[in-house]
Structure 1
Amino acid sequence: MIIDDEETLLLAIKKYLITQGFKVIVCNSGRAALSRLNKEKIDLIIIDVLMSDINGYDLVKQLKTRPNIGHIPFIFLTAKGMTEDRIKGYKMGCKAYLGKPFDPEELVAIIDNVLCDRKNIQNILNIKSEIKEIRDSIYKFDQLNEYKKFTRREITILLAVSNGLSNKDIAHNLNISIRNVENYITRLLHKTNSTNRIKLANYRYLLHKGE
Structure 2
Amino acid sequence: MAAHLLLVDDDPGIRLALQAYLEDEGFGVTTARNAIEGLELAEKHQPDLVITDIMMPQVDGYRFLQKLRALPRFRYTPVVFLTAKGQTADRIQGYRHGCDAYMPKPGDPEELVAIVRNLLDRSRQVQSEIVSLVSELNHRPAPVAIEAIDLDLTPREQEVLLLVYAGLMNKEIAGRLERSTRNVEKYVSRLLAKTGTSSRTELVRFALEHGLVSPGSAAG
TM-score bucket (shorter structure): 0.5 to 0.7
Shift of 1:39: 1.1
Deviation digits for residues 12-56 of structure 1, max 9, x if unmatched?
A: 000001111111110011000111111112100001000012100
Residue 67 of structure 2 aligns with which residue?
62
- In the alignment, does 2:112 pair up with 1:123? no
Instruction: Point out the structure with the larger helix share.
Output: 1
Provide the C-alpha distance between the structure 2 equivalents of 1:71 and 1:109, rounded to a whole number of angstroms: 19
- In the alignment, does 2:153 pair up with 1:114? no
Shift of 1:71: 2.4
With normalisation by structure 1, the TM-score equals 0.64
Asked if the contact 2:81–2:102 (Cα under 8 Å) also holds between the matched residues in 1, the reply is yes
Deviation digits for residues 99-122 of structure 1, max 9, x if unmatched?
A: 001001000000010000011011
How many residues align? The count is 141
1:4-153 residue pairs with structure 2 within 5 A? 4-135=9-140, 137-139=141-143
Q: Which runs of 4+ in 1 moved over 3 A?
A: none
Query: What runs of 5+ residues in structure 1 fail to find an aligned partner?
Result: 141-211
Provide the C-alpha distance between the structure 1 equivalents of 2:87 and 2:64, rounded to a whole number of angstroms: 20
Secondary structure in 2 aligned to 1:80?
A: coil
Provide the C-alpha distance between the structure 2 equivalents of 1:68 and 1:109, rounded to a whole number of angstroms: 24
Asked if the contact 1:38–1:69 (Cα under 8 Å) also holds between the matched residues in 2, the reply is no
Supply the RMSD in Å over aligned alpha carbons.
Answer: 1.7
Alignment identity in percent? 37
Secondary structure in 1 aligned to 2:71?
A: coil
Higher RCO (Cα < 8 Å, 6 or more apart): 2
Provide the C-alpha distance between the structure 2 equivalents of 1:38 and 1:112, rounded to a whole number of angstroms: 22
Secondary structure in 2 aligned to 1:38?
A: helix
Write the letter of the residue equivalent to 2:133: K
